[in-house]
Amino acid sequence: MVLDMFKEMDIRMKELKAKDKEFDAKITAIEAREQEMNYKLNDLRTRVENSKDAIISTTTGYRGHNYLLSKPILVNVHEANRLCRLYGGYLAEINDKQEFQHLADFSSSHVPGSVSIGVMLGATDEGHEGRWTFLTSGGNMTSFVWGNSEPSRGANQDCLYISTNSKTMMDEICLKYTSVWQWRFLCEINA
């Protein structure tokens, strides 16, 4: 009777040890997977940072938001917005005149000489001429600092830009693949 009990206990112990080994193997596999994920995550981070270094020229902070000003590129507002999304933000949305003033001063101070260029912002009146909506958040834009004879509207001037020499807003077309227009874009990132 007692002998049977010992046998039974011995069998249970062996079973438990086998389970223990199985458990250890699983933990080891999970740890290896975690290491692999961390490696992939760091690799991805490095790629995004490298892309940022290649595209972004300079940054500023204002009221708890970060803004990234790109290097000159061909004009494509929707593509620029996608790049901003890659960096964790969106093409800058102007909520009031103070925000615009800060960004117009910031952009102008980084554009060399007397050249006036456009800086892409995240608003459009495409499909609803004269009513400007934010590209990413989707709401109506209400605060404008238009330049002389702006908005000039027209069939295709559906995107919003900072004009760097007058530090005002202008509407222009959203896409223009010509090397004559080497403009910039501005990302906004909520901190």
Residues that bind Ca ion (CB under 5 A): 93, 95, 152, 157, 170-171
**Integer Cα distance of 18 and 28 in angstroms:** 15
Name the residue nearer to Ca ion (CB basis): 83 or 170.
170
At closest approach, how far in Å is the CB of 50 from Ca ion?
27
Q: 13 vs 5, 10, 21, CA distance in Å?
A: 12, 5, 12
In whole angstroms, what separates CA 164 from the centre of its chain? 23
At closest approach, how far in Å is the CB of 190 from Ca ion?
9
Beta strands in 32-136 (DSSP E): 56-62, 65-70, 75-76, 90-91, 118-124, 133-134
Structure tokens at 179: 């090397």
At closest approach, how far in Å is the CB of 126 from Ca ion?
14
At closest approach, how far in Å is the CB of 49 from Ca ion?
24
Name the residue nearer to Ca ion (CB basis): 67 or 83.
67
Name the residue nearer to Ca ion (CB basis): 1 or 178.
178
Name the residue nearer to Ca ion (CB basis): 125 or 171.
171
Structure tokens at 7: 């046998």
